[in-house]
Amino acid sequence: MAIEQTLSLIKPDGVSRGLIGEVIKRFEAAGLKIRALKMVRLTQEHARVFYEVHQERPFYDSLTQFMSSGPIVAMILEGEDAIEVNRRLMGATDYRQADPGTIRADFARDIEANIVHGSDSPETAATEINFFFNALELM
Ligand code: IDP
Ligand code: MG
């Protein structure tokens, strides 16, 4: 058990569908602390950098287009095992495989537009937090 930080994004579909409050409520109810938060709109070029690890995947163009299609909410979440806790609250990438009661099972109806992003390891959390936030923005 360790106190970790992780990057959470509410994707353009989550923002446009009015799910910002619902998602944040679930994070706070699970004991995760919000250490930084902002709304931004990525260019497709920025989305391509953020999702660089997926550049060989067939859905890369579509995903980066989707991620730059409207505003997103970026957050740093902190807490014990925050990376794993956040991933559990999100549910599986494919909403059809996500456990009942998870964000994706409850709200996503598309494998690409699946409401939220969450870092998957301490290394990616550090990289992704740095991508979105500078020292001044950390509470
Ligand atoms: P994750 O968001 O659960 O970590 P990843 O495998 O890292 O899932 O994929 C990143 C994002 O790419 C997913 O959240 C989803 O938006 C999109 N994605 C993943 N697999 C597919 C697919 O098979 N078709 C379309 N989009 C996908
Ligand atoms: Mg991922």
User: Which position among 117, 125, 128, 129 bears the catalytic label?
Assistant: 117
Q: Amino acid letter at 96?
A: R
Q: Return the biggest CA–CA distance within the chain.
A: 39
The answer, yes or no, to whether residue 109 has pLDDT greater than 80, is yes
φ/ψ bin of 32: left (φ > 0), alpha (ψ from -120 to 50), beta (otherwise): beta
- Give the ligand at the shortest distance from the Cα of 63: 1
- Residues within 5 A (CB) of ion ligand 2: 120
Angstrom distance (rounded) from CA 131 to CA 95: 26
Give nearest CA residue, ligand 1 atom 18. Answer: 112
CATH class of domain segment(s) 3-134:
alpha beta
pLDDT at residue 139, rounded to an integer:
84
117: annotated active-site residue:
yes
Residues in contact with ligand 1 (CB, 6 Å cut-off): 54, 59, 63, 93, 111-112, 114, 117, 120
8 and 77 Cβ atoms separated by less than 8 Å: yes
- Give the ligand at the shortest distance from the Cα of 54: 1
Q: Ligand 1 mean position to 97 CA, how many Å? A: 13
- Residue-wise pLDDT for 60-102, tens only, equals 999 999 999 999 999 999 999 999 999 999 999 999 999 999 9
